[in-house]
Structures are given as C-alpha cells and as structure tokens.
Amino acid sequence: MPRAARARVESGLTLVEVVVAVSLLSIVSAVFLPLLATASRSVHPMQVQSQSIDSLRNALASIGREMRSAACVTEPAANAGASNRLRFTTDANNSTYEVTYTATAGQLLRQVTGESTVTLLETGLVNPGDAFTHIATPRRTVKVVFHFQPDPKRPVLDLSTVVAGRNAWHAC
C-alpha cells in the first residue's frame, strides 16, 4: 500500500476538534467550579457547628452520668443562684472521688480533686456565669446550661439539661 493511502486510513483528532473540546470544557468549568467552591465554603461552618454541638452533648452526658451517682453537691450551693463551677462527690468504678467542672474563659474544664490533669472538654462557651444551678426543693436537681458560639458570625446557641441524682444528695 502506498504511503498516501496509509495516511488517509489512520484516524485521529483534528486540531479543530481539540480546540472545540477544550473550549467546551473551559465553559463548563467556568460555570460549575464557582458553584462547587461556594457550596464547599457554606458546608464547612455547619460541620464545625455540628461537631461543637456533638462535643457539648457528650460533655452534658458525662456530667449527667457522674451526677446521677453523686453523694453530695458542694458547688454551687443549693438555691444560691447560678455559678460557673460544679463540684460534687461521686461513686464510680468502685471508687469515690470529687470532680469539678468549670466553665470559664470560653472553655469547659473537668478536674478530679487530687489529680494534676485538667481536661478541656469544649471551647466556644460564652457567658458561662450561669452554667450550673443547684435547685433544692424537696428533691435536689442541678440545671446545666451552656451558651456557646462556635462561629463568631453565627448567633449564640443554648444547650441545657436538668440532672436529678439517683442517690439522695445530702450536705457535704
């Protein structure tokens, strides 16, 4: 077969076809990439807020578990108003210990008396002065309210619970 006949049989893309394909790809990218970037930017703050809410719910659950086994609540004093500290003696895992939760400087901290480690449970708290309220009517309960703002551009959110002890809490 002569050389000219072989060249006509070979298939491939022409320069015009490549230019048209690249142009179409550029137009489609110019339309959809900004939409993708905007969606990505709007999802990230929601993920951060969701993680903060989950972490704070876990902290509330942990406080609730320890409080239900509490023998007495030292701070805040019963019917004395709200406080940023919650201190109580509890029984867990066949041992008695005193634990303190403190909401201060935007953080929720947990410390067991006698141990040097302080555990940071969450950040982003605002107005922590009324985080814990010990209510003593005939029954004793502790109201826990966390105001938090994981994103300064978003409004403050509240997460709260009321914990009643299984044991009859008594004066410490």
Give the tens place of pLDDT for each residue, 91-124.
877 788 899 999 988 888 999 988 888 988 888 8
Per-residue pLDDT, averaged over 74-80, amounts to 86
3-class DSSP state of 87: strand
The tokens for 92 are 């867990």
Between CA 109 and CA 75 the distance in angstroms is 15
pLDDT score recorded for residue 33: 83
Between CA 115 and CA 73 the distance in angstroms is 19
Per-residue pLDDT, averaged over 35-50, amounts to 76
pTM: 0.70
Q: How confident is the model at residue 166 (pLDDT cuts 50, 70, 90)?
A: low
Whether 147 shows a pLDDT value over 60: the answer reads yes
The tokens for 31 are 């339309």
Whether 21 shows a pLDDT value over 80: the answer reads yes
* CB contact at 8 A, 55 and 157: no
**In the chain, % of residues over pLDDT 70:** 90
Residue recorded with tokens 């922590």: 128
pLDDT score recorded for residue 168: 58
pLDDT score recorded for residue 100: 92
Whether 5 shows a pLDDT value over 60: the answer reads no
Q: How confident is the model at residue 41 (pLDDT cuts 50, 70, 90)?
A: confident
pLDDT score recorded for residue 38: 80
